[in-house]
Amino acid sequence: MSFYDASVPAFLQILGALSGILTKAEAYCTAKKIQPEVLLGARLFPDMLPLSKQIQLACDFAAKSCARLTHSEVPSTPDTEKSFEDLRQRLAKTIGYLKTFKPAQFEGADTKDITFPVGPNTMTLKGQQFLNNFAFANFYFHAATAHGILRHNGVEIGKRDFLGVN
């Protein structure tokens, strides 16, 4: 399996699934007469980031990780989304960006040094370690937290929704 095949399709699957659960969340708000801002600002615990930020970070980890693995320019995306539609558009832009990558760009990425910011510091890992121990861990954490926030707030979604296989 190529390094491209081990990374890009995994990101694409979950980003697409997140778009689907946001659509269900928006329909839930309409049906229950809940202001969308309530769910967009919902958190699992007061010191955790809200739903909107979880989606933004999932997008960032997917896009920036692929850029770093291919030594491409790392995109900068301001966090300006204020609605479900805004977040779905960000997901769509991220998906579109990931689809621009070609397998050849990932050749040798597993052994390349990847230097990336961690808070105010930087860290360097080999591509395989970066993908498995940092990029995927953070990406799935934020995607799963977004799913958990919506499920905790009553949106009828489950594992199949998280996986995007409905």
State the Cα–Cα distance between residues 102 and 93, nearest whole angstrom. Answer: 17
pLDDT interval class at 135 (50, 70, 90): very high
**Amino acid at position 131, single letter:** L
State the Cα–Cα distance between residues 88 and 85, nearest whole angstrom. Answer: 5
pLDDT interval class at 89 (50, 70, 90): very high
Per-residue model confidence as pLDDT tens digits over 18-50: 999 999 999 999 999 999 999 999 999 999 999
State the Cα–Cα distance between residues 66 and 85, nearest whole angstrom. Answer: 25
Answer whether 0.85 is exceeded by the pTM: yes
State the Cα–Cα distance between residues 35 and 100, nearest whole angstrom. Answer: 36
Structural domains for the chain: 3-163 (1.20.120.450)
